[in-house]
Amino acid sequence: MLSQRVNAALVFIPLVLILIYLGGWAFNLFILLILLVATYEFTRLFKEMGHQPSLVMLLLGVALFVVQRWTLDDAYLVPLLTLLVLANTINGLVEYERGRDGAALGFVINLAGILYLGWVGGGMISLRALENGLGWMLTALPSVWLADSGAYFIGSWLGVKKMSPRLSPNKTWAGLAGEVVTGTLFGALLVLLWRSVGWLPAVTPLWQGAVMGFVLALVSAAGDLLVSLFKRTAKVKDTGNLIPGHGGILDRIDSWIWAALVGYHLVQLFAVI
């Protein structure tokens, strides 16, 4: 039986692939929507832990980061960060005066959530907006999906030693090895495929796809474990129940957002090598 993550990928892949292909406002609006839903789930998780994050400040901060990636250049990044830190400072002071003793920790959680889902999550828009963003987006995300499948099958077959028994008891070192090997292989094959249809330049070396697949396999595993940390601490099985039988949006995109942002920076690095 396939893991929930693989099943969910099979549900989302057609929609996500269509929107990646379309790009532009349709893709960006979709990313904004799923990140806002994920923000709601993030806030709910920390409230389950007994903390007091502000849903309004989190939604506003994530939305502003997405808009910055969508419509503004990076010159606006520092002013935006300054504004968000100041706004959350004022919110924390007001919340404490209103009787919320957890306002200080709420301030920290707000900023962490905004950076996690706004800055990291917004990387999906940045990667797709690159000159060859279609090809690189269709290298980064599918290599992660396929690597995840490799982790499941290899881990089920050969996995004995647990990698992180407290956070994710089903993860094994063999599964991680299978994830890395699968991601590396398919990263190179995807570059070869997109070169053949013109979505990446014909001179794009296969090693770039292999490096991307290798790095993103490791990064996606860390992203998955981070959300497991949230859920274990909150003592819940899933981040939400938006997708019957598959949990919440944050459960589904925990590795995607890291893959896109790190993939974006890898493409920038490839350009100067």
Tens-level pLDDT at each residue, the chain (273 residues): 445 555 655 667 788 999 999 999 999 999 999 999 999 999 999 999 999 999 999 999 999 999 999 987 778 888 999 999 999 999 999 999 999 999 999 999 999 999 999 999 999 999 999 999 999 999 999 999 999 988 888 888 886 788 888 888 888 888 899 999 999 999 999 999 999 999 999 999 999 999 999 999 999 999 999 999 999 999 998 898 776 556 789 988 999 999 999 999 999 999 998
- How would you label 85-107 residue by residue, b for 16+ Cβ within 10 Å and e otherwise? eebbeebbeebeeeeeeebebbb
Q: Which two tokens stand for residue 166?
A: 């407290």
Q: Which two tokens stand for residue 41?
A: 């789930």
pLDDT at 155: 83
pLDDT at 158: 81
Long-range Cβ pairs for the range 54-58 (8 Å, 24+): 54/88, 54/91, 54/95, 54/106, 54/110, 57/87, 57/88, 57/91, 57/110, 57/114, 58/110, 58/113, 58/114, 58/117
pLDDT at 68: 93
The set of residues, in sequence order, having a beta carbon less than 8 Å from that of 76 and lying 6+ positions away, is 68
Query: Minimal CA–CA distance to 143: which of 181, 178, 187, 177?
Result: 187
Would you tell me the crossing angle of helices 133-158 and 173-197 to the nearest 10 degrees? 150
pLDDT at 147: 93
Q: Which two tokens stand for residue 223?
A: 């992203």
pLDDT at 9: 56
**220: helix, coil or strand?**
helix
pLDDT at 127: 97
DSSP H or E segment with residue 170 = strand 168-172
| Domain locations along the chain | 4-272
Torsion 160-164-166-171 (CA) sign: negative
**What would you report as the CA-atom Rg of the chain, rounded to the nearest whole angstrom?**
19
Measured between its terminal Cα atoms, the distance across the chain in Å is 43
The set of residues, in sequence order, having a beta carbon less than 8 Å from that of 194 and lying 6+ positions away, is 134, 135, 138, 139, 200
Q: Determine contact, residues 230/95, Cβ cutoff 8 Å.
A: no
- How would you label 182-215 residue by residue, b for 16+ Cβ within 10 Å and e otherwise? bbbbbbbbbbebbbeeebbeeebeeebbbbbbbb
pLDDT at 1: 42
Q: Which two tokens stand for residue 230?
A: 């949230």
